[in-house]
A = this chain, B = another copy of it.
């Protein structure tokens, strides 16, 4: 098992990118969040993930954010989302992210040409990136956004590459997790679905990259700690209490919901970038209640 994986045992928030009302990146707000997160026992950070609105950023903004994450992360590891549709572009961005201080690259499956992205094409893509990358690579499967699920045999095959150290899976598919870890137990497995976090930890996941952790880092860390020390009753209870908030900031209201929950929790969510729009006042009230419920679990 790669040494970096030992440091990823826990909760990793996928950092949001706060925007100003005029649409510019609000880098000071991004830095304030990192400073605030230092108080929680988080394992590391992901910058440029789906919740970081990476698909809406240009390359210069991306590099600036990696640099800022590295500066603000202290001694915690920084993962950077560097996946683009082309192998060539992904390699170039991975190298720039490494230069800017990323400890590892999280590479989403390409997906625009769905019907042509066979197992062979995906293997070729990730192997070329892992060959070229100066930093370790984690695969990233997020079918709700991409419409493409990384097949278990592809993940198992890529686990043999010395520079592929793990993956993030965001649909919460336990069959995938159990198949992959059954054959490639040394692979780091980051659960990207808050609703599957405790079950995934039971089944052997290394940690979680959870949107809800951006708004409620303490409860997600408490959940991980309970599972890690074998306190299953407590972990199960925390998992259940977390559900309304977790569902609200992902499937129900997406990044705008997450940003609003962060604002309510005292972090800097900021504006989403259009075409995403801030949530309504009614949703904000729903989020306020879900946040209060989640927090009640750790008071």
Contact = CB atoms under 8 A, between A and B. Distances in A.
A263 to B, nearest CB: 17
Interface string A87-112: 11100000000000000000000101
A58 B263 CA distance: 35
Nearest to A173: B172
A281 to B, nearest CB: 16
A115 B203 contact: no
A117 B144 CA distance: 13
B125 A275 contact: yes
Given A86-B275, A145-B112, A195 B172 contact: no
A116 B199 contact: no
Interface string A255-276: 1100000000000000001111
A120 B198 CA distance: 31
Contacts of A181: 240
A214 B177 CA distance: 23
Chief secondary structure at chain A's binding surface: helix
Given A203-B198, A236-B204, A275-B122, A243 B179 contact: yes
Interface stretch (A28-36, A72-80, A160-168, A246-254): A246-254
A241 B181 CA distance: 10
Contacts of A204: 236
Contacts of A120: 277
B232 A113 contact: no
Contact of A86 (B89, B179, B199, B274): B274
B175 A274 contact: no
Contacts of A275: 86-87, 110, 117, 121-122, 124-125
Contact of A277 (B53, B124, B230, B277): B124
Given A117-B275, A276-B116, A178 B195 contact: yes
Nearest to A51: B113
Nearest to A123: B275
B88 A23 contact: yes
Contact of A121 (B122, B195, B202, B276): B276
A144 B200 contact: no
A85 B128 CA distance: 26
Given A56-B89, A179-B247, A198 B193 contact: no
A174 interface: yes
B203 A239 contact: yes
Contacts of A200: 174, 199
28 contacts: A56-B84, A86-B274, A114-B145, A116-B253, A128-B274, A147-B147, A174-B174, A174-B193, A174-B196, A174-B199, A175-B195, A175-B196, A175-B246, A177-B199, A178-B196, A178-B243, A179-B195, A179-B247, A181-B240, A196-B199, A198-B203, A199-B199, A199-B200, A199-B202, A202-B202, A202-B232, A203-B236, A230-B232
